[in-house]
Amino acid sequence: MKWVLVAGVLALLALPAVLSSYALTLFILIFFYGFLGQAWNIVGGYAGQLSAGHAAFVGVGGYTATMLSIELGLTPWVGMLIGGVLAALLGAIIGYLGFRFGLRGFYFVLLTVAFAEICRVAVSNIDALGGPLGLYITFTGNPRQFQFQDGRVYYYIALALMLVATLTAWAIERRRFGIYLAAIREDEAAAEALGVNAFKYKMLAMVVSSFLTGLGGTFYAFYLFSLQPNTLFGIPLSVEIIIRPIVGGAGTLLGPILGSFILTPLAEISRLYLGQGGLHGAHLIAYGVLLIGVVLFLPEGVYPRLRRALARRSGQTR
């Protein structure tokens, strides 16, 4: 299995040489959403705390780096880290309120959605942050400003982000941190009785997850050259973030990546063929149906099912 993964990574590294510019863009999106999904996976999959407001961290990260770049001329490379830290701060606040006050399941989901929406509305109403029309970044092509003429650089950055998030999840998974998160997800009270400080580990997961997601905000802003509060903080983005790991397999290492490889091309195709404007919602309908389908028929996600099928095929039994 390890060799398959290594070969896969090497293939991805070599790919840009043969890709058309459209395919390049597609892969950038696959990696980017895979990255966001993996970041979410740490708190939503491994720890089992369903957050439906992760877009808030993307927004905080993106707006921070952009404002620092516009107002202070600070390079987004540093702005990215600051954005991540601020996103982690927001994550800590949400986590603290949620976990200290014992908000589980649906209550926690509501909390995260409420925070994301508050951010969205607040930013929409602050003119200094561009108001509802948002901010625009002038194209300079200057690498120091996180802008590149060559699309392939974005490809490698997005790939790097996805790998960083995956390595982080991997490191967590095999240590006590990850094992404790799994125990919390299975049965928090039983875990507590075994010495697991559930509050501490949930908070840690939340902070790591929101930090990473915040980094993604900067990439988003400087790749698309614009930010709008409705896009960056809105529920559609939160849905994009969570749907890939859920379909691919929440709480597994490869789930978010597999999910992104499956869903991102589908979303792009639907965007192409079903047109613009009012029909833009069409791919969200597909997402809704998929979500329902996954819950009913494939609750663990595609990856675990696939892994079992492959294991059976090669003659091994569990």
Give the interface segment with other proteins, choosing from 35-43, 74-82, 100-108, 213-221 (CB under 8 A): 100-108
Among residues 19, 284, 298, 306, the one that binds other proteins under rule CB under 8 A? 284
Binding of residue 268 to other proteins (CB under 8 A): no
Out of 167, 176, 224, 308, which residue is the one contacting other proteins (CB under 8 A)? Answer: 176
Q: Decide: is 179 part of the binding site for other proteins (CB under 8 A).
A: yes
Task: Select the residue interacting with other proteins from 182, 262, 298, 306 (CB under 8 A).
Answer: 182
Exactly one of 122, 171, 269, 310 binds other proteins (CB under 8 A); which one?
122
Pick between residue 18 and residue 193 the one whose CB is nearest to other proteins: 193
By CB under 8 A, residue 169 contacts other proteins = no
183 binds other proteins (CB under 8 A): yes
Part of the chain binding other proteins (CB under 8 A), chosen from 83-91, 134-142, 205-213, 274-282: 274-282
Q: State the binding string over 1-40 for other proteins (x if CB under 8 A, else -).
A: ----------------------------------------
Supply the minimum distance, in Å, between the C-beta of residue 161 and other proteins: 26
- Taking CB under 8 A as the rule, does residue 246 contact other proteins? yes
With a CB cutoff of 8 Å and minimum separation 6, the contacts of 122 are none
Which position has the token pair 């029309």?
133
Closest CB 233 distance from other proteins, rounded Å: 12
Which CB sits closer to other proteins, 161 or 246?
A: 246
DSSP 238-258: HHHHHHHHHHH-TTSSSHHHH
> How many residues make contact with other proteins (CB under 8 A)?
61
First-to-final CA distance of the chain? 16
Q: Which residues bind other proteins (CB under 8 A)?
A: 48, 50, 52, 97, 101, 103, 105-107, 109-111, 113-115, 117-118, 121-122, 124-125, 174-176, 179-180, 182-183, 186-187, 189-198, 235, 239, 246, 278-282, 284-285, 287-292, 294-296, 299, 318
